[in-house]
Chains A and B, each alone.
Chain A
Amino acid sequence: MSRRAILDKIRQSLNATPNDQARRSALDARIANPPRAPAPSRVAATGSDTIACFKSELEKQLATVVEIDNPALIPSAIASYLEANKLPLRLRHGCDPYLSQINWTSAAGLTLNSGPAAPNDPTGLSVAFAGVAETGTMVLQSGPDNPVTLGYLPDTHIIIVPKSRILATYEDAFERLRTAIGSGNMPRTLNWISGPSRTADIGGRIVIGAHGPRRLLALITAEK
């Protein structure tokens, strides 16, 4: 069988035996206590501002970032963004608890549908599990709360990022995930999103909106 043959060949190349306890312990130790590379000074240095770094890194990658202190104002902020971009006032979203605490009727004309994205949905709305300041990256978990297609099929993607979830590094976000769903577990997909879709495959010039969203709006807001 291929599996056996490949593993045998690897062990032969490494001069190793399958039951070498020292080698197994090295693996177990690394997985039980995953080491971290030194964190980038842009987020680790004393006095570095995590939220400001998140915002400026994400803007560099051509996302629109808006800070709203009061979550009650999210519907009107979304409505004015959509109007400014001449987009229909229609949103597709999942059942993330963060969304149900918002009074969506506060913004006139905004229509909401829940479920995974349909091919003609103009805008998807998701809630980030975490934000990572070092590169302005939003971390999303797939599932009924935030169906994965919301971030890829619609032309516009809007992501709510509660301030308290913005962490310094990728490793911080993984630690938050291990705490939330248990070490070794993952959702079907964990999506890092750091800007709208783009390509440079034609003549080396960057074009925004290759296959995924042409626009990305990040709303940084309070937890409740």
Chain B
Amino acid sequence: MHSTTPNFKKNARTALADSQLQEALAGLPGGLVAQRAAARERLPEFDSLRDYGRDLRNHTLDHLDLYLERYEQQVIAAGGHVHWAQTADDACSAILRICSEADARLVTKGKSMVSEEIGLNHRLEGSGLEVVETDLGEYILQIRKETPSHIIAPAIHLTQKQVESDFRLQHDHLSANRKLDEPAELVNEARQILREKFINADVGITGANFLIAETGSSIIVTNEGNGDLTQSLAKTHIVITTIDKVVPTLNDAASLLRLLARSATGQEITAYTTFSTGPRRNGDPDGPQNYHVVLLDNGRSEILGSKFKEVLRCIRCGACMNHCPVYNAVGGHAYGWVYPGPIGAVLNPGLIGIKEAGQLPNASTFCGRCEAVCPMRIPLPKLMRHWREAEFEQTRGPALARAALRSWAAFAARPWLYHPLARVAARILKFSSGSRGSLSWFPFAHRWTKDRDLPAPQGKTFQELWAARGKSTTPKTKRSAR
């Protein structure tokens, strides 16, 4: 997928001024936040399960080569095929080859972020195939020639009115006077149209939420059932997925499934969870006759050996973006590449490079909500900080910001200079803020003060307050884990 990530700041400004986007964003992720909290409340084991999930993902990553080998062995034993792909281009070529062997003309697709990552639709359509997205949100985006703005709610940036006008334009063979003002009517129209596609498809492509080494199965979770119709009715089922999705056993998948839907939408579980293993068996009256898995690396094996390894624990629930104040303000498209929100700010630089995606780890206040809700306990702010360091080391970023950071570092590294000056500055700032406690002007910060006031210091530095506190209480020697 083409990236507009270097334009994050411009994208964000446009998003903030887009009243339709702001209307769509208002309240939607907020609902998901409340639903997740309620689901967590209902399952007292939720937080201990997160520890369990983190440990099991760490174990899997530490044995990734072996679990992948076992997984492959089991897929083959069940009559399926595994195609290893180092790059996006390799993966697209493998899928094209399978489609051409199947003499395919019509391809249906379930929702897959990896297929976005490799720009699959573009490649398939370029070879003359008709590709139809069957997840309702993805179908709407395909009509609009847009990309997902959220990893589990891809059309979250659209209002119902927009969908109605898209359907009227796209489905122009239907009566212009038909009623379409209820979501149910829109869903029903898409259902009728996509039925035909499911039934006539030659190849069905789905993603995978997990792969299981014990059995060679791929798992998808859906609420619509589109992934099941996609894979059951076509002659050939292709799974496009990545090497980090493998888990050891069915039981391990169960542990992660307990966390996935609850973290994502606050559901106890999605309506459908499907474990697919190989093609239809002898005597099976339905199901695909061919089963292929395209296993993509695309930089993940490199991340595995870096200080960003922990990001590979991600199970793509989207909780980090639902809870992110930046995501909630600008939506997903501003991030400019496949994965938005905090997970994108850590993953995208690893996949497309810090040169391309350097603005994303900077688009964070480090408020820490993403880490607090991540079911896999990925330390997202820490990893974003590592990217900022990497960006600085690679002499990237605006010259002025670099100069400011460098002089700040020089200053902060000299306590004998820093402490007295900070004390003076804190007092001057408190004095100039008067009784309001905030500043409407500050040197070099006019971009901030143009739209809002800057809170002024209370008059004492943190060090002074800390020292005063230290006299009454014993400081903790070791920070406890969150």
Chain A contact residues, CB within 8 Å of chain B: 1-3, 5-7, 9-14, 16, 18, 23-24, 26-27, 30-31, 34-38, 40-42, 57, 60-61, 94, 115-117, 119, 135-137, 142-144, 147-149, 151-153, 169-171, 174, 177, 183-205, 207, 209-213
Contacts and interface: CB of A to CB of B under 8 A. Distances in A.
A85 B346 CA distance: 50
18 contacts: A2-B297, A10-B68, A16-B65, A27-B213, A30-B248, A31-B249, A38-B49, A119-B195, A137-B269, A137-B273, A142-B280, A142-B286, A186-B277, A189-B275, A199-B137, A200-B223, A203-B159, A211-B195
Interface in B229-268: 229, 231-233, 243, 248-252, 254-255, 257-258, 265, 267-268
Nearest to A201: B137
A201 B194 CA distance: 15
B280 A201 contact: no
B225 A204 contact: no
Nearest to B269: A135
A31 B213 contact: yes
B279 A188 contact: yes
A61 B271 contact: yes
A40 B281 CA distance: 35
Nearest to A57: B268
8 closest residue pairs by CB, A with B:
A212-B225, A13-B305, A210-B224, A201-B137, A170-B254, A34-B249, A203-B160, A192-B273
Interface in B57-102: 59, 62-70, 74, 78, 84-86, 90
A23 B223 CA distance: 38
Contacts, number: 271
B66 A38 contact: no
Contact of B297 (A6, A197, A211): A6
Contacts of A202: 136, 140, 155, 160, 163, 183, 186-187
Given A35-B251, A174-B251, A201-B135, A212 B272 contact: yes
B243 A10 contact: yes
B224 A174 contact: no
B126 interface: no
B477 interface: no
Contacts of B44: 41
B28 interface: yes
Contacts of B213: 27, 31
Contacts of A213: 225
B248 A152 contact: no
B350 interface: no
A205 B277 CA distance: 33
Given A2-B85, A13-B302, A189 B136 contact: no
A86 B258 CA distance: 37
Contact of B274 (A11, A13, A27, A191): A191
A205 B28 CA distance: 10
B225 A152 contact: yes
B226 interface: yes
B269 A210 contact: no
Interface of B: 24, 27-28, 31, 43-45, 48-49, 52, 59, 62-70, 74, 78, 84-86, 90, 134-137, 140, 153-156, 158-160, 163, 183-184, 186-188, 191, 194-195, 198-199, 213-217, 223-226, 228-229, 231-233, 243, 248-252, 254-255, 257-258, 265, 267-281, 283-287, 295, 297, 301-302, 304-306
B225 A31 contact: no
Nearest to A36: B251
A204 B74 contact: no
B251 A201 contact: no
A13 B191 contact: no
A210 B225 contact: yes
B272 A193 contact: yes
Contacts of A147: 284-286
Contacts of A36: 251
A35 B258 CA distance: 15
Given A23-B62, A31-B213, A119-B195, 4 more contacts: A38-B48, A169-B254, A186-B216, A202-B183
Contact of B69 (A7, A149, A197, A203): A7
Contacts of A210: 136, 187, 191, 223-226
A116 B285 contact: yes
A40 B135 contact: no
Nearest to A9: B301
A126 B248 CA distance: 30
Given A9-B297, A115-B285, A197-B224, A186 B67 contact: no
B273 A6 contact: no
A27 B251 contact: no
Contacts of B153: 200-201, 204
Contacts of A37: 49, 52, 251, 254-255, 258
B268 A61 contact: yes
Contacts of B276: 188-189
A40 B228 contact: no
B275 A190 contact: yes
A117 B233 CA distance: 10
A212 B224 contact: yes
A170 B257 contact: yes
Nearest to B43: A40
A156 B348 CA distance: 42
B201 to A, nearest CB: 13
Nearest to B31: A204
Given A2-B84, A189-B277, A210-B225, A27 B248 contact: yes
A217 to B, nearest CB: 14
B350 to A, nearest CB: 12
A35 B184 CA distance: 43
Most buried by A among B217, B285, B295: B285
A134 B233 CA distance: 31
B216 to A, nearest CB: 8
A192 B251 contact: no
Contacts of A207: 183-184, 187
A137 B271 CA distance: 9
Contacts of A142: 280, 284, 286-287
Contacts of A174: 250-251, 254
A218 B378 CA distance: 39
Nearest to A37: B255
A116 B286 contact: yes
